[in-house]
Structure formats: structure tokens, C-alpha cells
Amino acid sequence: MQENFDLQKYLADGAESIIKEAISATFRNPKETLFLAKFAKSSTKAARIRKKYDKKGINIPVFLIASITSDCNLHCAGCYSRANNICSDETPQDQLTCEEWEDIFSQAKDLGINFIVLAGGEPMLREDVILKAAEFPEILFPIFTNGTVMNDDYFKLINKHRNLVPVFSIEGDEEITDLRRGNGVYSKLIDSMITMKDKNLIFGASITITKDNLDYALSEEFIGNLYNLGCKVLFFIEFVPVDVSARDLALTDVQREHLMSEIDNLREKNSEMLFMSFPGDEKESGGCLAAGRGFFHINSHGGAEPCPASPYSDINVKDTSILEALESNLFKTLRDGDILMDHHEGGCVLFENKEKVEKILKN
């Protein structure tokens, strides 16, 4: 780990950069720019709250990933949620209620967490939770969705509450997307993007990066098509293998460095779009940001996990607070140890060290 590396400053500066670049990317949309300017003030306040906790020796991450449902209407090939038996076609009875998610959002606001990624399953299937999220303008909610269940009610809601930002999952062109997600999915996805553009609503897109599609994902054809559709934010999500057989699809160190270099180039060439990567350059951030170093995950049943791709938990927010969850034995052991700093070949250091993580849970 780098000496004298200030993780909180790195994340705070990164969040501030996201806001500034988003304002720049939406300057032609006065309504969106006004919201982002107000959110920037909320973000500054949130940073002050996190700094107060930091002085007490308590690290509060900037980001929370909330899987608000296990339901999904698609069966995407290679889905880590289904591979880990997290996602299903039937709604489990013990998922967090709308009121419980509202309490989590409220706690997050009070702790200074001001970015909450809504995931699933398919998060748009939980309209009740999306409506609650809309009531927290201090928090920006990127909603990672497959785009197939968008409707007029959602478009109206997003127009009224600009803190809700759909991020549409796409694999590439129609052939590639439908091959993984199912016939007709690409068409519905594009229809949702076109409607968002026509209504002057900001949205993003995400693409899972593997060895096979890295070049296409960085191509002028792919980026240009998304830009023309009105996309303002593009997330590059590194593929995380869910079993050893899929390890070869994960990026190598050389490919990861190439990805980060090309993202820098894209930022310079395309000032009207915002480009983000996950997990990003771990060398700059002093290691993996999971387990509350920079983000953590709450699954649909309330389990507090280091990361969506590492479904391990020793505490549930149904029984405790977010603050107590962040100080759980699993999270503290991971943060205080060297696992998160280990070199790894795949897209996830916790995947590479799953035996060590499981050993912590047994102690």
C-alpha cells in the first residue's frame, strides 16, 4: 500500500469530480444542472460528516450498493447473482421491506453516504423502494437496470426526482446483447434510451468488460452509438468470475492498465460524457475498496457484505445499524488485514481469496 495514502481524500475528490463532470456533461439541460448544483452542496455536507467520523477512527464509505430485490425477469448468461443463488424467479418472503430500505437510506444520509447504487435482481421491479429513494434528494441513486420494465410512470418519476439515474446494462451491439440477455432485450433497451433522450432525462449505461469485448467496448463505434442515444455516463464494470472455469474471461493486469489508460483518453476526447470504472485502478486507491473501505453491499435480505461479488456476511441490518455493520468482525478483519491489498489475477481480490474470507467467518 502506498505510504501516506489518504483514502478518504481520494474518494472525496473522486466523488467531487463525478459531480463536476456530470454538471459539465449536462450543461445544456438547465433542470439537470440545477439539481446537480444542489446535490454538490449536499455532497460537501456529507463529506464533513464522514470527516467527523474519521477523526473518531471510524471510516464511513462514500458508496453503498443496495440490492433491493432478488427478483429478475431475465436469465442472463454468466450472471453472478444467479450463479451465487442470489437471484431467482420467485420473490423470497424474507426480503427487506420498503420501510426497512427507507430506514437504511435515512441512516446512510445521517452517516454521510451520498451515493447509493440500486441493484438486484432487477431493481425496477421494486417500485415501492424506488419511490422511497426519490424522497432523499441528498443521495444520488444510480439504478442499474436491464431497461425492459421502464414505463410512463417511471419516466414521470425520474423527471420529477433527478436523484434517480437509470444505468442501462448493455453488452455491445444487438447480437452480443441478445446472446447474453435474451432475444428482443436490446430492442427494449434502446427504446428506453430513446424515450429518456426525448424527455431530456439523464441516464447512463454499463458494460461488463471481459477479455473478449474489451476492444469493442472502447471503440468509437460503441461509444459514439451510446452518445447519439443520449447516454451521459458510461460505467466499465470489470468481469468478476464466479467460478474457476470463468477465470480466463477476467482482465489481465496489462489489459486492466490498458482499460484505465483508454478511459483517461475518452475523458479528454468526450467532454460531454462521464466515464467511470469499477473496481477501477486499485493501485491508486491502495487496494480493493470493498468491506467499507470505499463501499459495501447490503443484499436483499439485509446481509451486510464486502461486495456484491463476495456474498459473505456475519451481520444483518435487520438486527443492527449500518454503523455497527461497518464495524462487524468480517469487515474490520478485511480492512485491518492484508487480503484487500493482495495482488490478484482476476477482477476481484476477494474471489481469489475466498478461502481466507470463509475462514474469517468461522472465527
What residues have CB less than 8 Å from 91, skipping those under 6 apart?
A: 69, 70, 71
What residues have CB less than 8 Å from 261, skipping those under 6 apart?
A: none
Q: Encode burial over 66-95: b for 16+ CB neighbours within 10 A, e otherwise.
A: bbbbbbbebebeebbbbeeebbeeeeeeeb
When the pLDDT of each residue in the chain is averaged and rounded to a whole number, the result is 85
Q: Are 107 and 134 in contact (CB under 8 A)?
A: no
Residues 201 and 154: their CA atoms lie apart, in Å, by 11
pTM exceeding 0.75: yes
Classify residue 252: in a domain, yes or no: yes
Helix, strand, coil share of the chain (percent; to 5): 45, 15, 40
Mean pLDDT across the stretch 185-195? Answer: 95
- Confidence at residue 186, expressed as pLDDT on a 0 to 100 scale: 94
List C-alpha distances in Å: 343 to 149, 277, 285, 346: 40, 19, 13, 9
CB atoms within 10 A of CB 363: 8
| Minimum mean pLDDT range among 175-184, 191-200, 291-300, 347-356 | 347-356
- Confidence at residue 245, expressed as pLDDT on a 0 to 100 scale: 60
The x, y and z cell numbers of residue 156, run together, are 414521470
E strand segments, 49-185: 63-67, 115-119, 141-145, 164-169
Decide if pLDDT at 40 tops 90. Answer: no
CB atoms within 10 A of CB 266: 17
Decide if pLDDT at 10 tops 60. Answer: no
Domain span at residue 200 reads 7-362
Mean pLDDT across the stretch 250-278? Answer: 86
Which backbone phi and psi does 123 adopt, to 5 degrees? Answer: -60, -30
Residues 251 and 256: their CA atoms lie apart, in Å, by 6
pLDDT digits (tens, 9 = 90+) for 337-346: 888 877 655 5
Residues 78 and 318: their CA atoms lie apart, in Å, by 30
What residues have CB less than 8 Å from 242, skipping those under 6 apart?
A: 78, 80, 83, 84, 309, 351
Classify residue 2: in a domain, yes or no: no
Burial class of residue 327 in the structure, from the number of CB atoms within 10 Å of its CB (0-12 exposed, 13-18 middle, 19+ buried): middle
Decide if pLDDT at 57 tops 60. Answer: yes
Question: Can you say whether residue 184 is alpha, beta or left, with left for phi > 0 and alpha for psi between -120 and 50 degrees?
Answer: left
pLDDT digits (tens, 9 = 90+) for 68-125: 998 988 777 666 666 666 666 666 678 999 999 999 999 999 999 999 999 988 999 9
Domain count, the chain: 1
Decide if pLDDT at 4 tops 50. Answer: no
- Confidence at residue 202, expressed as pLDDT on a 0 to 100 scale: 86
- Confidence at residue 251, expressed as pLDDT on a 0 to 100 scale: 84
Classify residue 1: in a domain, yes or no: no
Decide if pLDDT at 241 tops 80. Answer: no
- Confidence at residue 178, expressed as pLDDT on a 0 to 100 scale: 87
Q: Which of 15-19, 299-303, 339-343, 353-357 has the highest mean pLDDT?
A: 299-303
Residues 52 and 38: their CA atoms lie apart, in Å, by 22
pLDDT digits (tens, 9 = 90+) for 283-342: 555 678 888 988 999 999 999 999 888 888 999 999 999 999 999 999 999 998 888 877
Q: Are 328 and 298 in contact (CB under 8 A)?
A: no
Residues 320 and 32: their CA atoms lie apart, in Å, by 36
- Confidence at residue 283, expressed as pLDDT on a 0 to 100 scale: 53
- Confidence at residue 363, expressed as pLDDT on a 0 to 100 scale: 75
Classify residue 131: in a domain, yes or no: yes
Classify residue 236: in a domain, yes or no: yes
Classify residue 307: in a domain, yes or no: yes
Q: Are 356 and 340 in contact (CB under 8 A)?
A: no
- Confidence at residue 2, expressed as pLDDT on a 0 to 100 scale: 43
Classify residue 179: in a domain, yes or no: yes
What is the C-alpha radius of gyration for the chain, rounded to an integer number of angstroms? 19
Closest CA to 12 of 62, 65, 63: 62
Q: Which residue pairs, CB below 8 angstroms and at least 24 apart, start in 353-362?
A: 354/310, 357/306, 357/310, 357/312, 357/330, 358/312, 360/329, 360/330, 360/333, 360/334, 361/312, 361/314, 361/330
Decide if pLDDT at 242 tops 90. Answer: no
Q: Which has more pLDDT, 83 or 50?
A: 50
Classify residue 283: in a domain, yes or no: yes
CATH of the domain at 28: 3.20.20.70
Mean pLDDT across the stretch 230-257? Answer: 80
Q: Which has more pLDDT, 268 or 6?
A: 268
What residues have CB less than 8 Å from 41, skipping those under 6 apart?
A: none
> Position of cell 473518531?
56
